[in-house]
Amino acid sequence: MSHKFFVLFLFLLFISTSVCVHEEGFISVIISDKGLDFAKDILINQTIASIVLSQLPQIEKSVQVPLVGKAHVILSEITIKNIQVSSSYVETGDTGINVVVSGATANLSLNWRYTVSSWLIPIGISDSGTATVKVEDLQVGLTVNLRNQEGTLKLILLDYGCDVGELSIKMNGGAAWLYQVLVDAFKGNIGSAVEDAVSKKIREGIPTLDNLLQTLPKTISIDETAALNISFVDNPVLSNSSIELEIDGLFTERNDVLVPQVYHRRSDISVSSGGLPKMINISLHENVFKSASEVYFAADALQWILDELPNQALLNTADWKILIPQLYKQYPNDDMNLNVSVSSPPVIKVSDQDVGVTISIDLIVDVLEAGEVIPVACISVDISASCDAEIVRNSLTGRLKLKKFSTDLKWSKIGKLHMSVIQSLSSTALKTVLIPYLNSQLKRGIPLPILNGFTLENARIFYTPPWIAVCSDVTFLGDYYLRHHLAYVS
């Protein structure tokens, strides 16, 4: 079974026999019946590509021919030239997921040769030629099951089979008497060889696919600070129209040992895709974003030194000579910087229109004198912002918009500061540096759990507090990823 078969099959087989959910994750992935049909079609096409041009074992048999004697016939280079599928379907049930192909046809080519010897023909005769074979009403079925195994998926083959219906042989060359002999004597052998070949592909492919499942990462590194826990939580859940996976989905520090988190939902997620049904629905709980906030805050990653502003003159005490006389008097014509630090983990809430973000920061004014950094004042700023979620490739990104902010003087070593000064410093720092910087970081996005080799298409975002749902179709990118990234799978 080819590498491309494994990856495509993986996309389809998110299923298990258990329908009891004990734990639920903070990222939910629901594959609709439209998504299953899409995956099934790709699976079948790729499986056919892996079988076509396969060569079946040589068939050899001795046949008693009336008035002629015993003919020793050998069929060799039996090759499956093409397979055409007229009907197929995928269905879920209590025992797993079933993929069924019915009414398929296959065309084969082969070489034949025979030798005949008897008391009537002491010298013996022989001949050779070619033949084409058409297999009709080919039926193929497969039932599998997936179980959660310590955060990864274990693939179990429950049942499989292949059955050949009608078979016709067209001879090229040779004696006419041999035609019927070949049809009568070898029809069953050729049919069995086709059934065995298809079944073997399935039987050999499952262990390799299972090994591939075990290589799926449990985390995705976001940067040097954080990683996203994408380990599976409990067993997948199925209904008669969809399959649902639960993923932990929380951010962790890069060096943390993964411990599955548990979140019990009050009710199922119900999201309208706004018209035509989509193949996949990926929902992220607001706790995903909260965990990111907490991880970056704990790692002291939400701190910045602003030593460049669009109006660079603001970072010199001379520019504040009139507004803050005491500053200029103590530190005449000295450069300054702004030390910005988030004072508590940002609060993130999903609303029915966007994502609300509340950030509290301390803005410390530093004077740079003779190589020394001297803090002279601290301004506390409470920021209210909104974030519009966006899809960029296979990641959920966003863009912050400043709604309002309030300021207060926390402490000062340069006397009392006027509110106009505080507002001016805060507004400049927020609008020209801090918000643009945060937006540049948000462009990295949260990688959505999409199988490599696929990409979202025509994605739409819906806000269903406390969840953000991404409803999308999926496009297969072809063999590029498979050729370049799966060569190690055997």
Q: Which of 45-54, 269-278, 388-397, 479-488 has the lowest mean pLDDT?
A: 479-488
Q: Are residues 344 and 409 in the same domain?
A: yes
Q: Is there a single domain that holds both residue 42 and residue 178?
A: yes
Considering the entire predicted model, what is its pTM?
A: 0.78
Q: Is 474 contained in some domain?
A: no
The residue ranking higher by pLDDT, 258 or 82, is: 82
Same domain, yes or no: 107 and 175: yes
Tens digits of per-residue pLDDT, 322-367? 888 999 999 999 999 999 999 999 999 999 999 999 999 999 999 9
pLDDT tens column, 10-67: 333 333 323 333 346 799 999 888 998 888 888 788 788 888 888 899 999 887 776 6
Domain boundary residue, one of 173, 195, 217: 217
The model's pLDDT over 86-131, given as tens digits with 9 standing for 90+, comes to 899 988 777 778 889 999 999 999 998 888 776 666 666 778 888 8
| 227 part of a folded domain | no
User: Residue 334, SS3?
Assistant: coil
pLDDT of residue 23: 47
Whether residue 24 contacts residue 470, with contact meaning beta carbons closer than 8 Å, is answered with no
CA 30 vs CA 14, 152, 421, 425: distances in Å: 9, 17, 52, 47
Q: Which residue range(s) make up the domain with 358?
A: 269-452+460-464
**How many CB atoms within 10 Å of residue 267?**
5
Interval 475-481 mean pLDDT: 66
**At residue 467, what is the residue type?**
W
Same domain flag for 10 and 105: yes
Asked whether residue 18 is domain-assigned, the answer is yes
Amino acid 139 reads Q
Q: Tell me the average pLDDT of the chain.
A: 82
Alpha-helical runs (H) found in 108-175: none
pLDDT for position 155: 81
Is residue 486 assigned to a domain?
no
Counted domains in the chain: 2
Angle (CA) 342 343 347, round 5° = 75
pLDDT at residue 258, as a whole number: 47
Burial of 378 (0-12, 13-18, 19+ CB in 10 A): middle
Which of the two residues, 321 and 174, has the higher pLDDT score?
321
Q: At what angle do helices 3-12 and 176-215 cross, to 10 degrees?
A: 60
pLDDT at 8 over 70: no
Q: Are residues 203 and 331 in the same domain?
A: no
Do 311 and 183 sit in the same domain of this protein?
Answer: no
How many other C-beta atoms can be found within 10 angstroms of the C-beta atom of residue 391? Answer: 18
Q: Tell me: do 208 and 293 sit in the same domain.
A: no
What confidence score (pLDDT) does residue 332 get?
93
Instruction: Please tell me the predicted confidence (pLDDT) of residue 481.
Output: 46
H or E element in which residue 109 lies: strand 96-117
CA distance 14 to 144: 10
Q: 217, 237, 259 — which closes off a domain?
A: 217
Same domain for 274 and 415, yes or no, is: yes
- CATH code, domain with 291: 3.15.20.10
pLDDT digits (tens, 9 = 90+) for 435-467: 988 898 888 888 888 877 788 999 999 999 999
In a domain, 429, yes or no: yes
Residue 178 has pLDDT above 50, yes or no: yes
Answer yes or no: is 255 within a domain: no
Q: What does the pLDDT read at residue 228? A: 93
Q: Are residues 177 and 283 in the same domain?
A: no
Mean pLDDT of 138-145: 89
Q: Which two tokens stand for residue 351?
A: 């609303």
Q: Are residues 190 and 314 in the same domain?
A: no
